[in-house]
Amino acid sequence: MFFIRTESFQQFLKLYPVVSVIVAINLILFLFTHIITLPIFVDLFTLMVGFNLYIQMGEYWRLLTPIFLHGSIMHVLFNSFSTVLFGPALEQMLGKFKFILSYLLTGILANVAYYFLGDLMASHVGASGAIYGLFGLYAYMIFARRDLIDSQSTQIVVVFIIIGFLTSFGPGINYIAHIFGFIAGLALGPILIDKIKNSYYDRYI
C-alpha cells in the first residue's frame, strides 16, 4: 500500500528528502508572503507570481516560481498534503533526481499551457500542475505497469483523479494547468516508469 504513512517525522525526512524540501519551500514561502507581511516579502511574491503578460515580456522564471507559491492557507495545506500523500512512492521509485525533474517539468509544462491558452492578464500560483503531473505518472503506471502498483493504491489514485477533475472547473481553479500537468505526467510515463524494474513492487510493500 503506497499511501499509508507509518514513518516518524525524522524517518520521513530521511526517506523522502525531495518531498520534504518541496513541502518546506511551500510553507516557508507562504509564511513569508502572506503572514509576515514585510515589504520585502510582498515584493518577493510579486516577483515570483505567474503573470502571463510578464512572461510574454521575457520574465520566463514565472513559469517555474509559481509552483511554490499559494494564495491561501487552505491552498498551501491541500497541495502540501497531496505532495506528502502521493510524492513518497514516486520518489522511492524514480530516485531523487528523476522525481524532482518530473515534478518541476510537469509543473512548468502546465504553466506553459496556461500561458498559451489562458488570459494574457491572468496571474496564477500553486503546485496543482505538478501534483496532477504525479497523477499522470500514476495513471500511466495503472494502464501500462500494473506490476508496480497494488489494487488498493490503484483505487485511491483513480478516486483522487476523478474527484480532482470534477472539481477542476470551479471558480478560481486553473483547470488548464490541471489538465496539461496530467497530460505531461502521462507523457513522461514511458520515459520514467518503464525503466523501473518490476521487482520494485515486491520490495516496496
pLDDT band at 198 (very low <50, low <70, confident <90, very high): low
What pLDDT sits at residue 25? 97
What pLDDT sits at residue 203? 47
Options 70, 75, 124, 178, the catalytic residue: 178
What pLDDT sits at residue 112? 97
Percent of the chain clearing pLDDT 90 (strictly above): 81
Half-sphere exposure of 61 (CA within 13 A, CB side): 8
What pLDDT sits at residue 204? 47
Mean pLDDT, range 27-37, rounded to an integer: 89
What pLDDT sits at residue 195? 84
Mean pLDDT, range 46-63, rounded to an integer: 96
* Catalytic (active site) residue 178: yes
Could you tell me which residues are beta bridge partners of residue 51?
123
Residues 6+ apart with CB under 8 A from 51: 59, 62, 122, 123, 124
d(CA 65, CA 104): 10
Is the model's pLDDT at 200 over the cut of 90? no
Q: What is the DSSP letter of 168?
A: T
For residue 147, what are the CA distances in angstroms to 18, 156, 180, 200? Answer: 25, 16, 26, 9
Q: Residue 153, Cβ neighbours under 10 Å: how many?
A: 22
Options 82, 102, 128, 153, the catalytic residue: 128
Percent of the chain clearing pLDDT 70 (strictly above): 96
Is the model's pLDDT at 171 over the cut of 70? yes
pLDDT band at 79 (very low <50, low <70, confident <90, very high): very high
* Catalytic (active site) residue 128: yes
What pLDDT sits at residue 191? 94
Amino acid at 120: L
Burial code (b: 16+ CB inside 10 Å, e: under 16) for 9-30 equals eeebeeebebbbebbeebeebb
What pLDDT sits at residue 81? 95
Instruction: Say if residue 62 is exposed, middle or buried (CB neighbours under 10 Å; 0-12, 13-18, 19+).
Output: buried
pLDDT in tens, 104-140: 999 999 999 999 999 999 999 999 999 999 999 999 9
Amino acid at 122: A
Query: Chain-wide mean pLDDT for the chain?
Result: 92
